[in-house]
Chains A and B, each alone.
Chain A
Amino acid sequence: MSALLEVEDVTMRFGGLCAISHCRMTIPAGITHGIIGPNGAGKTTLFNLITGIYRPTEGRIRFQGRDISGQRPSRIALGGIGRTFQNIRLFKNLTALENVRIAYDTQLHYGPMESLLRIGRHRRSEDESIARSMALLEHFGLAGLASLHASELSYGAQRRLEIARALALKPSLLLLDEPAAGMNTAETAILTEFLRDIRSHFQVTMILIEHHMHLVMNLCDQITVLDFGRVIAEGSPAEIRANPRVIEAYLGESAE
């Protein structure tokens, strides 16, 4: 199977701090990959490296075989990597529909002159963009809230909207940064089913950072454990559960 994403020996230093150290990861297409590790292990930094917010100090990141390290974030997004953020980053003063439309806009092809004069592809594209965005909101149970500002939505709806917005890019890889943050057990169970549905419906490869072990163990095909910027374990959920180094990193006990 060909790898969708390859992280090749990536190191990220902020001044003297080494946030990610010689990280290697291979994500085949079609799987769901979990990244776990204690706070400050470098999980979000890894996402920021993949999406181009940071440029790796050393190493390379390949997506669909092409080197994307150091590309502009918008270019990487258009190449097919969508993401959500740990602390929700919606366009708060815009409606739920507009939030999705902005991501969908990147697939519209019309020029400024066509917009200015409201001719040609402008009309057709805009109608299509609204219809498609509404369909996406519908799928996420947000159609009734389409005209509300993102800031007016409930926490759960905001989380869902953020995922919908990322999917409007039609990504082949979706990065979810703690999708279950702030959710209780029951809500997390619902989210697990929801993510399962997205995976099959949108046929997207997922990488998710999560602290809820139940969700990770249930959903992921393979897991990487990070600690202090290093990969300390990698494998299937069953293997990770039995790995003494993981237990040590999480509980701070000696593995001996």
Chain B
Amino acid sequence: MENTRRFCVRVAECRWILPLLFAAGLAFCVIAESGGLLNSYTRFALTTMAVNVILCASLNLVNGYLGEFSVGHAGFMALGAYASAMLTTRLFPQMPALFIPALLAGGLVAAGIGFLLALLSFKTRGDYLAIITLAFLMIVKSALENIPWVGGPRGIAGIPTLTTLPVAFVAAAATLWTIRNLIFSKFGRAVVAIREDEIAANAMGVRTREAKILAFSVSSFFGGVAGALLAHQITFINPGSFDIIKSTEILVMVYLGGIGSLAGSVLGAVIFTLLSEALREFGTWRMVILPLILVLLMLFRPRGIMGLKELPWFLPRRELATRRKKS
């Protein structure tokens, strides 16, 4: 028993497992994409899983680390999806090499609006800010429906299929890496301090406005990138794809995997995607079972599976050393 425990600790604290998993994952994705190792449905599902990891980790920044409750993440996805799709279909079609700039552009457009939302969060917190994010989502959706230039209610069709499995995998890894490096720095600790106690954070010299701007901007940036990836995966987007149900799905992932945890974000996105695909044949019942999971979760484990805990793999070496309990 003691040996098993010690073995688990050693595995959890092993520094090269995560880089190894990344290399193996990337190799697998490349082979699967080119070699016909997997059928197209499985490839599609795995790509969705990677995009969900980005969505979940980025929403976790606001809902988990900052401790706010945003229901507007689908709005940022929409902004990223539309901005990038406009670039790849209208501005420079037939140029797949410009996909990465298009992804970044999608992220930046979303981050710009996320920045504005952060300004509102200075004065408003909790329930009231949640309502503002809901309003933001509705504004984005109806704005897109009413701008003929971006296709109105019919949306944009014929988007090139550029989101392949390796692209989505690398994007997910890059997201996790970025968020991890920000969280384990003075910037991330300031964000977490606001969640724990905003008044105390202020009294300790934490510049709360800057920290909120950072959390909202980075979160919406990756929300936008995920939207851009999704647009180039399903090749057709309309305002209806980015509604409150989409936001709810991301919320389920965050609260299932665990708030304030990168490992939780990955876990939440993976479990959600698997469940969601497994329940596909149940049709409408899917949207009964998934919310039901959320209800049960709130009752029995409100912070999620990994709530506020981190797998040592994701901790920088320095942080790991300070967290070892002296025994």
Contacts and interface: CB of A to CB of B under 8 A. Distances in A.
Interface of A: 51-53, 72-74, 77-78, 82-83, 85, 89-95, 97-98, 101-103, 105-106, 108, 110, 112, 115-118, 122, 125-127, 129-130, 144, 146-148, 165-166, 168-169
A90 B326 contact: no
Contacts of B316: 118
Point out which of B189, B308, B318 has the most chain A C-beta atoms below 10 A from its C-beta: B189
Given A73-B202, A77-B203, A115 B193 contact: no
A110 B197 CA distance: 24
8 contacts: A74-B202, A74-B205, A77-B204, A77-B205, A85-B203, A89-B197, A94-B196, A106-B206
Given A97-B322, A102-B190, A91 B200 contact: yes
A146 B319 CA distance: 12
A106 B182 CA distance: 16
Contact of A146 (B192, B207, B322): B322
Interface of B: 178, 181-182, 185-187, 189-190, 192-193, 196-197, 199-208, 214, 260, 308, 316, 318, 322-326
Contacts of B205: 74, 77-78, 103, 106, 169
A73 B209 CA distance: 12
A130 B197 contact: no
B189 A98 contact: yes
Nearest to A73: B202
Nearest to B214: A112
B207 A108 contact: no
Residue of A78, A89, A144, A165 with most partner-chain B CB within 10 A:
A89
Contacts, number: 107
Contact of A115 (B182, B201, B318, B326): B182
A243 B208 CA distance: 44
Nearest to A97: B322
Nearest to B208: A74
A169 B214 CA distance: 23
A126 B185 CA distance: 8
B322 A147 contact: yes
A24 B79 CA distance: 55
B186 A105 contact: yes
A108 B204 contact: no
B186 A51 contact: no
User: Interface majority SS on B: helix, strand, loop or mixed?
Assistant: helix
B12 to A, nearest CB: 15
Contact of A108 (B186, B201, B214): B186
A152 B290 CA distance: 35
Contacts of A125: 186
Contacts of A112: 182, 185, 187, 214
Contact of B323 (A95, A108, A117): A95
Given A53-B199, A92-B196, A94-B192, 5 more contacts: A82-B204, A85-B199, A103-B205, A112-B185, A148-B325
Contacts of A53: 199, 202-203
A127 B181 contact: no
B323 A115 contact: no
B193 A91 contact: yes
A72 to B, nearest CB: 8
A144 B326 contact: yes
A18 to B, nearest CB: 23
A246 to B, nearest CB: 30
Nearest to A146: B322
Contacts of B182: 112, 115-116
A53 B198 CA distance: 11
Contacts of B200: 85, 89-91
Nearest to A168: B204
Contact of A105 (B181, B190, B202, B326): B190
Nearest to A111: B187
Contacts of B318: 126-127, 130
A90 B204 CA distance: 11
Contacts of A169: 204-205
B38 to A, nearest CB: 33
The interface centre, meaning the residue of A90, A101, A102, A127 with most chain B CB atoms within 10 A of its CB, is A102
A121 to B, nearest CB: 11
A116 B179 CA distance: 8
A147 B323 CA distance: 5
B193 A130 contact: no
B290 to A, nearest CB: 28
A168 B206 CA distance: 12
A92 B260 CA distance: 14
Nearest to A91: B196
B194 to A, nearest CB: 10
B196 A73 contact: no
Given A91-B200, A92-B196, A126-B185, A74 B207 contact: yes
A6 to B, nearest CB: 21
Nearest to B260: A93
